[in-house]
Amino acid sequence: MLSELVYGSYLSAKKYLTGYDADTRTISLTQTLLKELSVSFEQWPRVTVTGSKGKGSTAVFLASILSASGEKVGLITSPHLRRFNERIRIDGTCVSDEELEEAARDIAPAVRSLIATIHPPKYLGPGGIVLALAAKLFIKHNVTSVIVEAGRGGEYDESRLIEANISIITPIMLKHAARIGPHLTDIARTKVRITHPQNVIITAPQKLAVQKVITSVAREFSSPVLQVGKTIRIMHKRQTLDATYADFFGEGFTYNNLSLSLLGSYQTENAAAAVLAGRILTQFGATCTKEGIYQGLRQVRWPGRCQLVQKIPWVLLDGAINKMSATEIIQIIKKLPAKRITAVLAIHRAQDLASVCSILANVVDNIILTEVHTTSLEWDKTDLIKSTSKYFKNPLYISDVNDAFNYIKNTIKKDDGVVLLGHQSFVGEALSYWNIDSCRLW
């Protein structure tokens, strides 16, 4: 029932959906649904997180900080890796199957009634139905603040309808160009317009062209802009295989020797945006304490994101599938105390695969290529081997992902290391194989 309810309208219209979101997405239908259900997010201090990279980490950092400060936090993230329940959490824990099914039964009549009035290419977006489910569950659990990670967009993303007090903009890159717009500035403009007039914008460090767009939209909306690197500054970054450390400071505050449980020096910028958002959200009724900031950053888990899923031998898992992401994670790979490192890659585009391999070439000894058949991605074995062979001799191709994992388990020595990189569905398969809990974040 749940899958059909959430995705049915979208799947009926999918074949008609060509072109940009501006032409194919209609978030007004979600607005109608929320009105019919008499649910609103206005009762809560609330934050949306959009961008191209680091959205989930930033949202989770903020939710953990607020929870550690005494708030009861409703969190919406996407996509899920193992279970749909991962999309809706209360204080870092997935809602139960029973609660989710109860909420689905509650909203189903309104959803089906609305869908009956529209025809493809119009559709009621899955993101809007998740918002409706979450609102019902947040009310039931008496949450006191809400954090929502947006989908790929902003202006045409259903999360815009919560009219957040604060919108965080993580680094924006040229991703989803076929759906959002052909140029980086088009993507930036769409994502930044998730905000509403006079509401606060917090932005990560951006390319100059993106920052100009943010400034322009903020001026149009009379919205204040706070910047990581200016409003909150980061110093003394340091990295181990257990944590990331840094100092944050700004006007009127200093946090020395913060310990971030998530690996990667780039996580300091995500954490800084979360700290700044937590501090500003107090102006809208939320509680954010100094102790909560320290504990929240230290306690959080974010499964499948630069995560050590095993230590003997070392196994590092991440969703890096492009050159930029690979460049970031290489700093962690270099710290693995392993004699030899094998990388298992599930990247379906030969161009992306070649870019990742070019970064891994200096630190990885062997490559295994695999596929994920739970998605609609197309895999061309010949092209993928050809792209990999430019950087590695004799790459091994094991099409079934679990066979690849079994091969690793049976052949890797205790003093070796393994790096698992691939699409989110691949990350989900790895979490399942290593039996990593994806529902509890702290």
| Contact by Cβ (8 Å): 439, 302 | no
- CATH no. for residue 293? 3.40.1190.10
Query: For residue 401, which phi and psi values (nearest 5 degrees)?
Result: -65, -40
Report the number of distinct structural domains present in the chain: 2
Residue 441 lies in a domain: no
What pLDDT shows up at residue 194? 97
Residue 442 lies in a domain: no
On the 0-12 / 13-18 / 19+ scale of CB atoms within 10 A, 72 is middle
What pLDDT shows up at residue 176? 81
The SS3 of residue 13 is helix
Per the structure, the complete domain to which residue 292 belongs is given by 2-299
Mean pLDDT for each consecutive 10-residue tract of the chain (442 residues)?
Answer: 91 88 89 96 97 96 98 96 96 97 97 95 95 98 98 92 97 86 93 96 97 97 98 96 95 97 94 98 98 98 95 94 91 92 96 96 95 83 96 96 96 95 95 96 96
Distances (CA, A) of 109 to 27, 96, 112, 291: 19, 21, 5, 44
Distances (CA, A) of 400 to 243, 357, 369: 33, 20, 10
- Check whether residue 38 and residue 76 sit in a common domain: yes
Residue 22 lies in a domain: yes
Residue 48 lies in a domain: yes
What pLDDT shows up at residue 345? 98
Residue 200 lies in a domain: yes
Spatial neighbors of 391 by CB under 8 A, at least 6 apart, are: 354, 357, 358, 360, 361
Amino acid symbol at 241 = L
- Check whether residue 252 and residue 338 sit in a common domain: no
| Contact by Cβ (8 Å): 51, 204 | yes
- CATH no. for residue 342? 3.90.190.20
What pLDDT shows up at residue 174? 85
What pLDDT shows up at residue 324? 87
What pLDDT shows up at residue 152? 87
